[in-house]
Each structure stands twice: as structure tokens, then as C-alpha cells.
Amino acid sequence: MQNISNYNKYLSYKSGRLRIENIFLEDIAMKYGTPTFCYSANQIKDNLHNLKNSFSKIKPFICYAMKANFNKEIVKLMAKNNLGIDVVSKGELKESLKCGIKNNKIVFSGVGKTDEEIKFALKKNIKQINVESEEELEEIENQAKSLKKKINISLRVNPNVDAQTHDKISTGRSEDKFGISQEKVEKLLKHYKESKYLNINGLSIHIGSQICKISPFKKAFKKIRNLILSLKKKNIFIDCLDIGGGIGIIYEVNKDKVFKISDYAHLVEENFSDLGIEIIIEPGRFLVGASGVLISKVIRVKKGKRKDFLIVDAGMNNLLRPSLYNSKHSIFPVKSSNKKTKYDVVGPICETSDIFRKSYALSKQEKNDLIIICSVGAYGSSMSSDYNLRGFANEVLIDGNKIF
């Protein structure tokens, strides 16, 4: 069996029983039912500590990308650790404020902000809006004028860099819907320089998600650095640079390879520490991805002609990533055993795509046994639905002996 702590430092077997931090998962299942998302608070804290300590020359402003997981206890944990929040909707903005995030620590990103959302952000006096188009910029100026407000703006640059990740989560290519071309950025900065309602003092980039190679970041950072230096020569000065997120995590220990976070930090400092500007980073998956597991109960083992199906009560409505991205999450039994067999691990949804793993080796399972699906802290619960009216999974945050 793989070492389960490779996925989450706070997962371990004790006398054959699986626990997260100091709580046994079968006790969680008994109290809260299944399926249940379970998060390790200390794994999140460790990830944040590692990220902060990887920087030595600069102190970036860390804004948690809330779309990864908007569980209230997790957002409150970010607030307690003095993080900002990157939001992409009015709903996320409102929830951030409710959970204790200060308004001047909120960055509003996203390509499709509505008039209502823009107005709400202006009224709440947030840190900045990351703008994705000339048309959006015009709409924000009109809204700001009517409210007699002035707002900080960062223009999201599309650097035309392939993030070398899944096609559906690559956002920095010229054919993607995100950002503004470098040629148009200079034009907009000049045009709005004297605006009474827009303070365009920053640039932003985000090239994709689950990026496992450092080379796409090298290309993107070099391009944005050169753009800032080019603008400076023309007396156009940038005070703030939001370099987005996208740092990948390991989903399968023996197959996935991800760069060290210290290498990422070094690259950031190498490119931007001498510019004297504020650097914002927006990690989501990196902070919370490994922290979460999904506890699920075996409904039955179905004997097939050529294979056995392990049918569990978690489905693609709870964890969409395998169906949407063909992603592969590692699975472990809640009670360990040396007797192994191979299963297609599938959910109860009436879709052939409701499958977590094919021909996957697990200890022999029976009806009502429990398994966990690892690395679901990001884009698990936040992408869930009530498809087939199966209901939403419960969620708990574990901090030592405490359950939230």
C-alpha cells in the first residue's frame, strides 16, 4: 500500500483504522453520514506556512482563491491567518465579508462581472478589481461615476502562454476568453490615465490551474516583467502586479511530478523583487487541495463478466473532477487489509461517466465498508451539485481533536 501520508501529512492508520489528525474517519461517518468531505486544518496551515517561508526578498500579499473551496470554516481560517481573498462573484464577495475578511483585502476577478456585481464591489470599497476587457472598464467607470467612487484597477494581461495543463483549465492563451492583449493594455493605460473614477495602478495575469511545470511561469513572468519595464520607459508606472495562482498539487504520488514551491518563490523574486511593486499571489488548490478527503460508503460490490464494480454512495455530483477532467484521485480503505482485489470504483449517478477509478487495486471491500477519495479539498465541494437529487455531502473541518 502507498504511504497515505504522502497525500495528507495528517492522514494515518492506527491499529488498522484510518484517522485524520486525531479523529477516526469511521467515527465521522457514523456521526455525519456519507458522503462527507473532511478537511485537515493543520494541513492547510502547513501549506500556508511553506508558501510564506519560501519567500525571502519580498513579502507577497496572499489572496486565497475562494473558488477552490468556499467552506465557511476554511474561509474563516484564512481570515485568522491575515490572508486576502480573490473572489469571482458577488456571492463569494458577500461570503468573504461574513467570514471576517476585510474589504480592503478583497480582489475581484473574473471575465463576466455583471453591473450588479460591479456596483456591489464599488460600494464595499474593496482592494481592487481585475479587469478583463475594454468593455468592462467602460462599465466600471460609468458605475463609479454614478456612485462618485474611485476604485483601484488591475488590467488582466493575456500573455499568450500555454500553461501545459488540462485544456479546460488553461487560461493564458490568446484564444482563451481571459484577459487583454499586451498591445491593448498600453492604450488603455494611456486613455484612462486622467480618469477621476479609475485608478489603473496594476496589472494581473493568470495562465491556468494545476500547473506542474515551472516553465510556463517562467515564460509568463518574463513577458509581464518586460511589459512593466517597457511601460516605465514611457512614464507609465505600475504599483501592483497580481501574478495569479495555478500551482499544481500531487494527485498520484508515483505518477505526478510538481515543482518545489521554493523554486516558484525564487522565480517570482528573480523577476519582480527589484521592481519595487506590490506582488499579489492567488493560491487556491495549493493551500486546500491536499487537505481534503471524501468519505464514502460501499453500497454493494457488483460482480461483472470481466470485472468487479465497487459501487459507492459518492458520485459525480459530489466530486466532478474525474468526469469533467478525467482526473485520477487516489483511494484508500478506512480499515486497512492486506488482501487486495481490483475494482472499477463507481458512483450511483445515472451516467457512464460517474466513475472514479478503473481497475483500481484496493483491499477487499464489502457492503457498508468505508473508503476515502484523496486530494479533494479544492474543486470538490465547490463544484458539487444536486444532480439526480442525490443531495449534497456534509463537510467537516478537523483541527486536532476538534470538529467544526
Catalytic positions, please?
350
State the DSSP string of 159-200.
-----SS-GGGB--STTSSSSB-HHHHHHHHHHTTT-SSEEE
Question: Which neighbouring-strand residues pair with 354?
Answer: none
268 three-class SS: helix
204 phi/psi in degrees, rounded to 5: -145, 155
**CB atoms near residue 45 (< 10 Å):** 16
Question: At 267, is the secondary structure helix, strand, or coil?
Answer: helix
User: What are the cell numbers at 97?
Assistant: 465579508
**Contacts (Cβ under 8 Å, ≥6 apart) of 363:** 1, 333, 335, 336, 337, 338, 339, 340, 341
Pairwise CA distance, residues 127 & 153, whole Å: 9
Q: What are phi and psi of 57, to 5 degrees?
A: -95, -25
Closest by CA to 236, choosing from 184, 273, 201, is 201
* E strand or H helix at 204: strand 198-204
